[in-house]
Amino acid sequence: MKDRAIIPDELKGFYSDWKMSPGLACGDFLFFSGFTGADAEGNLSSNPEEQIRMAFRKVGLVLAKAGLSYNALVEMTTYHAGLRDHLELFKRIRAEHVVEPYPAWTAIEVSGFVREGAIIEIKAVANRVPKSE
């Protein structure tokens, strides 16, 4: 199977400007670039809930473009500026997206991101092979 970039229309800037694939299909897996809570135009809300939801939305855009849903996620690493300030909020929003068997998850505190004011970045891996029941 040949590697293939997964580029939703809304995320084309990642590929053209940053020279990175929003998602890269490789073998049985789909690897995601890290997504912050900035929207497609680069606007970043000061509201933590809006940032977290936007980051999950970007993950969802890549999944949908690949013909997958959130149930394909097998691993998630999240990076947080102010982890303890919004961890419970993040857990609640994450629970709206993940399903059993839940993906592996690591949450890491960081001092900051490229974009000033960002509080979250989500990096993930999905399985492209349907789960057997």
In the chain, what are the domain boundaries? Answer: 4-127
Backbone angles phi, psi at 50, to 5 degrees: -65, -40
Q: With 80 as the cut, is the pLDDT of residue 2 above it?
A: no
All residues at 6 or more sequence positions from 41 whose CB lies less than 8 Å from its CB, including other chains: none
What number of residues does the chain have? 133
One-letter amino acid at 105 equals: W
pLDDT of 132 reads: 59
**Which residues share a beta bridge with 25?**
4, 30
Residues 88-119: tens digit of each pLDDT: 999 999 999 999 999 999 999 999 998 899 99
pLDDT of 27 above 70: yes
Place of tokens 């068997």: 101
pLDDT, mean of residues 64-80: 97
pLDDT over threshold 70, residue 133: no
Please, which residues bridge with residue 32 across strands? 23
> What CATH number is given for 4-127 in this structure?
3.30.1330.40
Residue-averaged pLDDT of the chain: 93
Q: Is 51 left (phi over 0), alpha (psi -120 to 50) or beta?
A: alpha
When pLDDT is cut at 50, 70 and 90, the band that residue 16 belongs to is: confident
Q: Which of 67-81, 104-118, 119-133 has the lowest mean pLDDT?
A: 119-133
The pLDDT score that the predictor gives to residue 1 is 56
Cβ proximity of 7 and 15 under 8 Å: yes
